[in-house]
Amino acid sequence: MSEATMIDRRGVLFFVVGAAACGIGDAYAQSADEIIAAADRVRNPGEPFRTMTTLIEYRSGKARSKTVLTVYVKEDRATGQFRNVVRYVDPPRDAGKLVLRAGNTMWFYDPSSKASIRVSAQQRLLGQAAIGDVISVNLAKDYTAKLIGTEEIQDSERKPRTCWHLDLAAANEGATYSRIEYWVEKQTSYPIRGKFYADSGRLLKVAYYGRYQSQLGGMRPTETVIIDSVDSALVTTVGFTDFRFQEIPETWFQREFLPRIGAE
């Protein structure tokens, strides 16, 4: 079954129907680095914040699992990287588990065993919507960007968007994906679509960013729809709600402190 057929049948998303539109003569008015940096600012504000994140996984159009997380985000002013603490809220069997990303390392903490386990680069990709799709990242720091040109594509609501088309290559070992194709709307700097690739070059998933709302002082995507390119029956929606600016202690980003981070 093709991606287009699968998406149309569910009514969840609609894939791109247009081919590349217009030449690239005006595509270089901005550099690739400037475009990615602007899109990063759309996805994440510069101040520490938290948000509730709900992942719902669908198989053949039917919901089969739901995970609720609280995600805490704070930028490291020295490096420009975003640091994250992810707390599992639901389902009950996972409540209280934590994931920490600080720099290029990621740790998983299970309160039942009181053990902190380092998450490998491969483990970050496990699952239809991997933990790497939930944490906030600074693509401008993790990837080297190349501007391909401009294209008119359709977003998740079938609206035409004139976008920069960029090719991103992993610049350090902390990058979740080896390569990303990325479409950013020219007029707004909104991320619209991403294609995510493994080290082997295999396409793993396609993501659409949508439902832009005014949050935390700017327009931000409040939903990502992820289409599995390995198993075409799988689609996951990632919804973001309850955005709040919040001070986050520096101690939270130390592996040794994870057992002491209590629930709010």
Residue 127 is predicted with a pLDDT of: 58
Backbone angles phi, psi at 32, to 5 degrees: -60, -40
Amino acid at the residue 233:
A
Range of the domain at 76: 3-260
Residue 39 is predicted with a pLDDT of: 96
Residue 122 is predicted with a pLDDT of: 62
CATH number for the domain spanning 62: value is 2.50.20.10
Encode pLDDT of 184-233 as tens digits: 999 999 999 999 998 899 999 999 999 999 999 999 999 999 999 988 89
How many distinct structural domains can be found in the chain? 1
Tokens of residue 134, six digits: 């939930």
Give one DSSP letter per residue of 135-163, joined into a string.
Answer: S---HHHHEEEEEEEEEEEE-TTS-EEEE
Share of the chain above pLDDT 70, in %: 84
Residue 125 is predicted with a pLDDT of: 59
Encode pLDDT of 84-127 as tens digits: 999 999 999 999 999 999 877 889 999 999 889 988 766 665 55
Give one DSSP letter per residue of 32-77, joined into a string.
Answer: HHHHHHHHHHHHS-SS-EEEEEEEEEEETTEEEEEEEEEEEEEE-T
Three-point CA angle 245, 191, 185, nearest 5°: 125
**CA dihedral sign of residues 106, 40, 221, 262:** positive
User: Cβ contacts of residue 214 below 8 Å, gap of 6+?
Assistant: 220
In which band, very low, low, confident or very high, does the pLDDT at 176 lie, cut at 50, 70 and 90? confident
Encode pLDDT of 1-20 as tens digits: 444 333 333 333 322 223 33
Beta bridge partners of 235: 58, 227
Q: Within 13 Å, how many C-alpha atoms sit on residue 194's CB side? A: 21
Encode pLDDT of 236-250 as tens digits: 999 999 999 999 999
Please say if the pLDDT value at position 67 is more than 50.
Answer: yes
Beta bridge partners of 109: 98, 116
Please say if the pLDDT value at position 258 is more than 60.
Answer: yes
In which band, very low, low, confident or very high, does the pLDDT at 80 lie, cut at 50, 70 and 90? confident
8 A C-beta contact, residue 71 and residue 248: no
Name the residue with tokens 């949050």: 215
CA 15/CA 8 separation, integer angstroms: 8
8 A C-beta contact, residue 73 and residue 50: yes
Distance between alpha carbon 160 and the CA centroid of its chain, in Å? 22
